[in-house]
Amino acid sequence: MVEKGRLLDRCNTSVTIKDITFITHTKSMPTSKQRVNLSIPSEVNVALQRLADKEETTVSAKALSLIVRALDIEEDIVLQGITERRDRKGTHFVSHAGAWR
C-alpha cells in the first residue's frame, strides 16, 4: 500500500471534489492517454460496479464514460449562460447572408 503523502509527491495535480480525489500523472506510460487515480466512497464504487456489470464493460471504461458525459453537461451549462446573457430584448440580429459577406 502506498502512503497518501508519497502518492501525492509523485503526482502533478490532485484535487478533491466532495469525497472524490482526482490525481493526475504525467509520467511516461505505455499508453498515450492520461492516467487518473480516483479515491471514491464505497457507495460510489458499488454504484459504478453495478453500472459496469449491467453494460458488460470495465469499471474504468464506465467511469470514463460518466466523466465525459459530465463534462458535456458542464459545457452545456456554460454555453447556456452565455446565450442567456446575449438573448435580450432589443438585440440586433444579423441575417445569415449578412454574416457571410
How do residues 43-60 score in pLDDT, each as one tens digit? 999 999 999 999 999 999
CA distance 57 to 76: 27
Report how far residue 13's alpha carbon sits from residue 89's, in angstroms, rounded to the nearest whole number: 44
5: pLDDT strictly greater than 60: no
Phi/psi at 3 (nearest 5 deg)?
-65, 145
The per-residue pLDDT for range 55-95, each reduced to its tens digit, is: 999 999 999 999 999 999 999 999 999 988 888 887 788 88
pTM for this entry: 0.58
In one letter, which amino acid is 58?
T
Alpha-carbon distance of 67 to 99, in angstroms, equals 36
